[in-house]
Each structure stands twice: as structure tokens, then as C-alpha cells.
Amino acid sequence: MNDASVPAQPGFRLARGVVRMLAGLGHAPLCEFVPAPGQRVDVISVAPSGEIWIVECKSCRADFVADRKWQGYLDWCDRFFWATDCDFPAQLLPEGDGLMVADAYGAEIIRPAPCARLAAARRARILRDIARTAACRLIRLSDPEAFTGPLPD
Amino acid sequence: MNDASVPAQPGFRLARGVVRMLAGLGHAPLCEFVPAPGQRVDVISVAPSGEIWIVECKSCRADFVADRKWQGYLDWCDRFFWATDCDFPAQLLPEGDGLMVADAYGAEIIRPAPCARLAAARRARILRDIARTAACRLIRLSDPEAFTGPLPD
């Protein structure tokens, strides 16, 4: 299959499939989100109920082994999942987390994630930041000059 | 001036200028937001602090007189503003609300709006809905098939 809309990078391909699956569940997923300086999650997603999921996409063993930041992401979500392709050695991953298998076109939840419910203040902060990030990205697409106009300071 | 990127509809022209000004203030504005069934605000905006502003854009007297919904919008924001062009009869507008004068390229706050602070649960709900709306619009732009794929239910 030769689909120009599919990202070349393996991690982005997995993320695209994860986003499609989450959208199908009624979630609102956002890619490449920065919850705190130095952190960047592959997919963060807001369920209709307001529950927040984070999905980290790992395309190969080296990608997982090199990741020293994922445990910090647990502080920003109610449920945490890994997403891998079907060839990934799943036994490497912590058994207590959720697991999805994905490709560029979709994903499936193989193991549900336990819920570690965020405190209200933390949830309000992360929802604020997701709202601001997504709204600003939309403006950059619809009116690229909005952030370079006469009031840039 | 003949700028193809400027919307034809007067209300949308004002909204574009308002969005540019708010972006310059560090806000994250979102246009055409539905806070509840039957309601649709022109611009809702999340400040860096999480404060929520709503801006209703009125291009002419008839536009304002026909609006029977705006008082319902006060329930969804900390501060409420009108935005008009410089020819609008500003004496028509309630004196207690904020006022901006706008065109398609920018806006200016003429009268600040008082703060009627949202309750925490209401704020969390509106932030959730802004986050979900903006994230879903981004997906529709970046991967239009995400919402029409194999999991549409």
C-alpha cells in the first residue's frame, strides 16, 4: 500500500492509528502534548466524561529502553497505555499498564489500563493546557499571522 | 485592501481581529463554540491563568437586537465582552459588560469586563468541552478519515 498521508516515522504511524481508534470511541485525542517542561507525550486524550488517557507509542525495543520519562507521565492521566506494533516484545512492558496494538490505520486495546484518578486541581490544569494547546494549533492553521501580528510581545 | 484570507461575513471579520488580539495577550481563543445545545458563542478564550472569556461580535444594530441568547453565555465565562466595529452604536450595549472595537486585523479593549468567577465544577466542564472541541477540529484537519474510518459508532 502506498498512502502519502501515512507518516514515515514508525512512532507517528502508530500514533495515527491510536488517534483513529480513540476518535472512534468518542475521545478527543491530541498528539505531541507537553504536560510539563521536558516532557512530551505521544497522545493525550479526553474522554466524553473528562477522563484523561495518555498513550505512549513504541515502535521498537530500543525506543522503549531509551525512554526515561514515561513514569512522569503517570501524573497527568487517569489511565496510561502503551501502543506498539504487533511485532513488539510485549513482555518488556510493565504488566500493570494498559496495552494497545496499532498500525497507521487503527488500533485495538489488548489490555485495559487501571484508573488512577487525577485530583480535581490537577485535572483542571491539564484540561486547561490541552484546551490552550489545541486552540493555538488551530489558530496557527487557520490564520498563521495571528501570532506574528502587531501584538507579538 | 483586497485580502483573500479575510472572511466575507462581517461577524467573522470582527472575530478574526478579536482572535488576533487575544492571541497577542497570550490567550488561546476558539471560534464558534457550542457551550450547550442551542447556544453558539463567537469566540471563547482561555487565558494562561485558566480564566475564560467570551466575546460576542456584533456587526450592526440588527445583529444585536435579534440576539436573544447572549445572556445565557454569561454562565460559561469569567468575563464577557462585546466586539463591534467602530461605527456600531455602542450605547445599545449593556454598560456592565466589556467592550472591544475590532476589524479583521485586530481589536482593542475599550472597556474591561468585570470578573464573575466560574464555580470550579463549571470551569472544569467548560475546559473539558473546549479541549475536546479544539482537539477534534485539529484531527478533522490533519486526518479527515479519522472520524469516518472503521470505528464510526
B49: Cα within 13 Å, side-chain hemisphere = 6
Q: pLDDT tens string for chain B (153 positions)?
A: 557 788 889 889 999 999 999 999 999 999 999 999 999 999 999 999 999 999 999 999 999 999 889 999 999 999 999 999 999 999 999 999 999 999 999 999 999 999 999 999 999 999 999 999 999 999 999 998 887 644 333
For cell 456592565, name the residue: B96
Supply the pTM of this predicted model. Answer: 0.92
Of B5, B29, B150, the CB nearest to A135: B29
Measured between CA atoms, how close is A23 to chain B, in angstroms?
A: 6
Looking at residue A2, its pLDDT comes to: 56
Residues of A in contact with B19 (CB under 8 A): 139, 143, 146
Q: Which of A43, A38, A79, A76 is nearest to A58 (CA)?
A: A43
CB-CB under 8 Å, A128 with B29: no
CB-CB under 8 Å, B19 with A135: no
How does residue A151 score in pLDDT terms, banded at 50, 70 and 90? Answer: very low
Q: Write the DSSP assignment of B43-84 as a string of letters.
A: EEEE-TTS-EEEEEEE-SHHHHHT---HHHHGGG-SEEEEEE
CB-CB under 8 Å, B138 with A30: yes
Looking at residue A118, its pLDDT comes to: 97
